[in-house]
Amino acid sequence: MVERVRAALQERYPETTRKSGRRRKSKEDGDAAEKKPRRTKAEIGQTYNKTYALVLEGRTVEEIAKERGLSQTTIEGHFAKGIAEGKVDIEGVMPATTRDVIAAWMREHPEEGLNTAQAHFNGAHSYGQLRMVQAWLKKEAD
């Protein structure tokens, strides 16, 4: 039985070597999906710098995300990185009361991660906000 199936597949798909009978797509066939070229470190660094420049202009997370066509989570990640590097001031991106509430909890629970913090605050603060405060606390400790 197996031999008859193999023979039928070989007859129907003579150019294939795969068990499923499907041909692997290749660039020569023009069927393969085109991959985007990888971005260089310089290009990746530029995206952060664009975000930092917009923060310095006083724009909000929502405004920057809309203008740049990125998600708010991505922009908050840029803020956290900028805070850690000293390029962004946390005062300009988060109210002091929010920062202080999150920071107090993080100081009391230094061994806990962001998931635990998110659960503690019942989702009142985004992971991005938690990362920003985490970066700020680490920078303050250095």
Q: pLDDT tier at 21 (50, 70, 90 boundaries)?
A: low
- Average model confidence (pLDDT) for the chain? 85
Look at residue 64 and tell me whether its pLDDT is greater than 90: yes
Q: pLDDT tier at 10 (50, 70, 90 boundaries)?
A: confident
Look at residue 16 and tell me whether its pLDDT is greater than 70: no
pTM of this prediction?
0.68
What's the CA gap between 88 and 80, in Å, rounded?
8
Question: Would you state the pLDDT for residue 46?
Answer: 85
Domains belonging to the chain, first-starting first, are 41-141 (1.10.10.1390)
Q: How confident is the model over 28-44, as pLDDT tens digits?
A: 655 555 677 787 776 67
Look at residue 77 and tell me whether its pLDDT is greater than 90: yes
Q: Mean pLDDT throughout 87-111?
A: 93
Q: How confident is the model over 103-130, as pLDDT tens digits?
A: 999 999 999 999 999 999 998 999 999 9
What percent of the chain shows pLDDT beyond 70? 82
C-alpha R_g of the chain: 25
Please give the span between the terminal C-alpha atoms of the chain, in angstroms, as a whole number: 72
Question: Would you state the pLDDT for residue 54?
Answer: 92
Question: Would you state the pLDDT for residue 33?
Answer: 58
Instruction: Calculate the alpha carbon distances from 64 to 56, 73, 78, 82, 89 in Å.
Output: 11, 11, 11, 15, 16
